[in-house]
Amino acid sequence: MSTIKKHKGLDNTLKVMKEGYLYTTNQRRRLGAENIFETRVLGGKRALVISGKKAAELFYDNDKTERSGTLPKRLVNTLFGKGAIHTTTGKKHIDRKALFMSLMTEGNLKHLRELTRNHWYMNTHRMEQMDQINIYRESIILLTKVGTKWAGVQAPEEKIEEIATDMDIMIDSFRGLGTAFKGYKESVAARRRVEDWLEDQIIQTRKGKIFPPEGTALYEFAHWEDYKGNPMDSRLCAIDLMNTFRPLIAINRFVSFGLLAMHEHPISKEKINNDPDYAYMFSQEVRRFYPFVPFLPGKAKTDIQFEGHDIEKDTMLVLDIYGTMHRDDVFENADEFHPERFLDWDGSPFDLIPQGGGDYYTNHRCAGEWMTIIIMEETMKYFAGKITYDVPEQDLTVDLNSIPGYIKSGFIIENVAEKV
Ligand code: HEM
């Protein structure tokens, strides 16, 4: 049995932060390690980085990999919220995940599609009046309107900007990878403000003082009972209610990346306009190609084996998300942006994993993946077909060494006009 190759060093966290999305791939190459290598992170903890399709299969095997208790505390306090679904396991997880997934009805998804389409249409006049539009910022505001409406949450127009900014601060907090980072306090404060606002609406709904429509997230979460017949504590309920639309707002990052891809591959605009399936393929490729979630943590649930290596119970496992989607043995010519690769994709739950993999109901795979694709499809169709715009000189660099990934300029457009 061969030994696992090691990235030496007492704590490589700084190196991970310095190389960002490229750390895992660079390190595998440097060590000549195919699918697994050892490193030390987050205060010197031993971790095994696993990469590729087989690694994703291991990571999403609930008998072999445990997820609860593995997310860095700082990230839970900022990004997900204390007690959030991401931190649960076993029966509790499956019970609560069913609540999230019960929102993904055909009707609710159709409503989301219409909300997205209508909000972009309604926004055209505003963008026509503006000298320049920063798409990162514009789409976060628009998606905050879409997300709160879809969730049935009351968000007056004058509060939208504030909610969008607070959400962005929380989302940006994974920049610290769970270590001390500048902005931690600001992020915790942003979370507290949004939790307060949502908890109030949960309480009001339960008291019958406000009436969100049945089927919306606010209604369903406020009235939900767990498998023991207990309602959720109102704070926890606010936290998980936020988990139905805070990540929706994060789609602004994919929107900016999508417009960058359209700018760099102008032919894709025509294809989106002429082929009804192209917006889907294009959106999938944007989620695969551009940097968002770098990796995910877990630990060995029991003594396990991976590719002939023994892994002891409780060993930290890190699934290489970005690197897996950029491997040529997972996606052919992985470093090329090529939406057509999704023409005959087999839909494997272990290769296209920008929002996690495995099963929606029993694993921690993102509950909002279908929502993300729908929002991307409608947004890309709008920018390709409904308006014209110019892309001025700007810094379009996407620095893969920096987590989270973003376009330096945010992606700026100008001279917006409705297509006639
Ligand atoms: C989980 C990414 C959009 C709700 C996750 C996970 C990732 C992720 C990586 C964890 C997977 C794992 O631990 O195995 C993203 C990205 C999004 C996005 C990159 C788009 C920018 C959404 C949306 C929703 C959502 C629109 C709205 C419902 C959730 C929930 C979980 C989750 C509730 C926890 C699932 C669980 O623990 O079982 N997401 N997500 N996400 N996501 Fe998303």
Q: Is 287 in the pocket of ligand 1 (CB under 6 A)?
A: no
Q: Is 133 in the pocket of ligand 1 (CB under 6 A)?
A: no
Cβ count near 273 (within 10 Å): 15
Exposed (0-12), middle (13-18) or buried (19+): which is 200, by Cβ within 10 Å? middle
Give domain 13-418's CATH number out of 3.40.50.150, 1.10.630.10, 1.20.120.1770, 3.20.20.70.
1.10.630.10
**Position in ligand 1 atom list of the atom nearest CA 248:** 26
Exposed (0-12), middle (13-18) or buried (19+): which is 74, by Cβ within 10 Å? buried
Please tell me the predicted confidence (pLDDT) of residue 360. 98
Q: Is 244 in the pocket of ligand 1 (CB under 6 A)?
A: yes
User: What tens digit of pLDDT does each residue of 277-303 get?
Assistant: 999 999 999 999 999 999 999 999 999
Q: How many CA atoms lie within 13 A of 144 on its CB side?
A: 21
Q: Is 142 in the pocket of ligand 1 (CB under 6 A)?
A: no
C-alpha 108/C-alpha 217 separation (Å) is 10
* Ligand 1 pocket test target in 296, 366, 378 with most atoms within 8 Å of CB: 366
**Position in ligand 1 atom list of the atom nearest CA 358:** 14
Please tell me the predicted confidence (pLDDT) of residue 174. 73
Q: Is 296 in the pocket of ligand 1 (CB under 6 A)?
A: yes
Helices (H) and strands (E) in the chain, counts: 17, 10
Asked if 309 and 407 touch (Cβ cutoff 8 Å), the reply is no
**Among protein residues, the one whose CA lies closest to atom 41 of ligand 1:** 368
C-alpha 176/C-alpha 274 separation (Å) is 42
Please tell me the predicted confidence (pLDDT) of residue 177. 64
First to last CA, the chain: 67
C-alpha 52/C-alpha 43 separation (Å) is 26
**Position in ligand 1 atom list of the atom nearest CA 287:** 19
Q: How far is the CA of 292 from the centre of ligand 1 (A)?
A: 12
**Among protein residues, the one whose CA lies closest to atom 39 of ligand 1:** 366
**Among protein residues, the one whose CA lies closest to atom 21 of ligand 1:** 251
**Among protein residues, the one whose CA lies closest to atom 1 of ligand 1:** 366
Residue 106 is which amino acid? E
Q: How far is the CA of 356 from the centre of ligand 1 (A)?
A: 7
**Among protein residues, the one whose CA lies closest to atom 23 of ligand 1:** 368
**Position in ligand 1 atom list of the atom nearest CA 254:** 21
Asked if 136 and 407 touch (Cβ cutoff 8 Å), the reply is yes
Asked if 254 and 149 touch (Cβ cutoff 8 Å), the reply is no
Q: Is 86 in the pocket of ligand 1 (CB under 6 A)?
A: yes
**Among protein residues, the one whose CA lies closest to atom 7 of ligand 1:** 355
For 301-370, list the strands marked E by DSSP: 304-306, 309-311, 316-320
Of 104, 390, 68, 100, nearest to 232 by C-alpha is 100
Q: Is 356 in the pocket of ligand 1 (CB under 6 A)?
A: yes
Q: Is 297 in the pocket of ligand 1 (CB under 6 A)?
A: no
C-alpha 217/C-alpha 228 separation (Å) is 21
Q: How far is the CA of 354 from the centre of ligand 1 (A)?
A: 9
Q: What percent of the residues of the chain are helix, what percent strand, and what percent coil, each to the nearest 5?
A: 50, 10, 35
Q: How far is the CA of 279 from the centre of ligand 1 (A)?
A: 21
Please tell me the predicted confidence (pLDDT) of residue 378. 98
* Cα–Cα distance list, 404 to 17, 39, 68, 400 (Å): 10, 21, 23, 9
**Position in ligand 1 atom list of the atom nearest CA 67:** 13
pLDDT in 10s for each residue of the chain, 420 residues: 679 999 999 999 999 999 999 999 999 999 999 999 999 998 899 999 999 999 999 999 999 999 999 998 888 888 899 999 999 999 999 999 999 999 999 999 999 999 999 999 999 999 999 999 999 999 999 999 999 999 999 999 999 999 999 999 998 887 766 565 668 889 999 999 999 999 999 999 999 999 999 999 999 999 999 999 999 999 999 999 999 999 999 999 999 999 999 999 999 999 999 999 999 999 999 999 999 999 999 999 999 999 999 999 999 999 999 999 999 999 999 999 999 999 999 999 999 999 999 999 999 999 999 999 999 999 999 999 999 999 999 999 999 999 999 999 999 999 999 998
Q: How far is the CA of 80 from the centre of ligand 1 (A)?
A: 10
ipTM of this predicted structure: 0.99
For 72-168, list the strands marked E by DSSP: 132-134
Q: How far is the CA of 366 from the centre of ligand 1 (A)?
A: 3
**Among protein residues, the one whose CA lies closest to atom 19 of ligand 1:** 355
Of 141, 189, 187, 137, nearest to 163 by C-alpha is 141
